[in-house]
Amino acid sequence: MHRCTPQRRSPFPAAGLLGAFIACMLPALPASVSAAAGYPERPLRFVIPFPSGGVSDIIGRSIAARLGESLKQTVIVDNRVGAGGTIGSDVVSKATPDGYTLLLGSLSTHAIAPHVFRKLPYDPVTGFAPVGTVVVAPNLVGASMKLDVRSVKDVITLAKAKPGSLSYASSGIGAVFHLSGELFNLLAGIDTVHVPFKGLAAAYPEVASGQIGLVYDSVISAMPHIKAGRIRPLAMLGARRSALLPDVPTMAEAGVPGYDVTFWQALFAPAGTPAPIIARLNDEVNRSLKLPEVRDAFAAQGAEVFPGSPAQLAVLLKNDIALMGKLVRQAKVQPD
């Protein structure tokens, strides 16, 4: 409740009484509004939970630089790496919710991690305030040129004719590409065998030779192998085609209705961050994503701008947590 405190007697009694009356009648500004009024008044910290030099780092630093320009404040990038991005995410979840600490989170840190880590130190929903989506990274499924298939329907036909004979490579157990393969199995009613690698670079010789039939990867990583004729791109894993491979259909278009594994990256703040600050940050980020130079820079990294509201990010997160949980259970991934 707003309380009025006694004031020193005014030399103009009527004016003093009127001023006191007005002061008492005016409601106090909510703390969130007053906190946002002068925001930002000092440098911000932008936590990227992945190593320097990678795609996530390049994207995060670009957003941080744009935020610094639009907010007219220094934005300090802090690479807090380890445990699949969960260490940096945990740092932000426990930071003061004042808008001065932000996180570049992702499908991995917020939708997959809850299911593959036995004791995740943060709650991906209650521990954060969604700010907005930033980019999506187009991913695909490709087939070895040694495999006699030219489409997703060909793969399904082959897998059903010879159950368990067709394998696929991914970047590791519980990773997004592993779960992408499990969703294909689930929706197509087939049984392709998962072969995990520590990094897909090691998988391509086996895919090229035909030892492994399929590979799930990002477009930017797979492109050299596509151009070299080692793999044939069959379908995009997300809900839309990639500008880099416009003739390659989505999985849904290729005959697997309901398939959608969109690898997104998004901006989060600690839970409890004032709504006016969240709105300001979302507005500034979305404005920067409309710039041609930003779109071009992200495209060079195989990413596409993906602006959205805090509410849209919250719905996306809820849906993906449920989907990834289902796939982890199907794949019988044991939490670490």
Q: How confident is the model at residue 288 (pLDDT cuts 50, 70, 90)?
A: very high
Q: How confident is the model at residue 11 (pLDDT cuts 50, 70, 90)?
A: very low
Q: Are both 39-137+262-331 and 139-236 of the same fold? A: yes
- Let me know: does 28 contact 12? Beta carbons within 8 Å: no
Question: Which residues have a Cβ under 8 Å from the Cβ of 121 and sit 6 or more positions away?
Answer: 86, 90, 93
Domain residues of the chain, as ranges?
A: 39-137+262-331, 139-236
pLDDT score for 55: 85
pTM of the model: 0.82
- Shortest CA distance to 266 belongs to which of 89, 98, 5? 89
Per-residue pLDDT of 176-193, as tens digits, reads 999 999 999 999 999 999
Q: Cα dihedral angle (75, 79, 80, 84), rounded to 10 degrees?
A: 130
Q: How confident is the model at residue 312 (pLDDT cuts 50, 70, 90)?
A: very high
Residues 55 and 106: their CA atoms lie apart, in Å, by 12
Per-residue pLDDT of 119-173, as tens digits, reads 999 999 999 999 999 999 999 999 999 999 999 999 999 999 999 999 999 988 9
Percent of the chain scoring above 70 in pLDDT: 89
Task: Average the pLDDT over 86-100 and give the result.
Answer: 97
Supply the mean pLDDT for the chain.
89
CATH class of 139-236: alpha beta
pLDDT score for 38: 87
Task: Average the pLDDT over 221-247 and give the result.
Answer: 94
Predicted confidence (pLDDT) at residue 20 exceeds the cutoff of 70: no
Residues 230 and 169: their CA atoms lie apart, in Å, by 14
pLDDT score for 8: 38
Q: What would the 3-class secondary structure string for the chain be?
A: CCCCCCCCCCCCHHHHHHHHHHHHHCCCCCHHHHHHHCCCCCCEEEEECCCCCCHHHHHHHHHHHHHHHHHCCCEEEEECCCHHHHHHHHHHHCCCCCCCEEEEEEHHHHHHHHHHCCCCCCCCCCCEEEEEEEEEECEEEEEECCCCCCCHHHHHHHHHHCCCCCEEEECCCCCHHHHHHHHHHHHHCCCCEEEECCCHHHCHHHHHHCCCCEEEEEHHHHHHHHHCCCEEEEEECCCCCECCECCCCECCCCCCCCCCCCEEEEEEEECCCCHHHHHHHHHHHHHHHCCHHHHHHHHCCCCEECCCCHHHHHHHHHHHHHHHHHHHHHHCCCCC
| Fold classification of 39-137+262-331 (topology level) | D-Maltodextrin-Binding Protein; domain 2 (3.40.190)
Structure token pair of residue 54:
């990678």
For residues 25 and 166, the model is more confident at: 166
pLDDT score for 113: 95
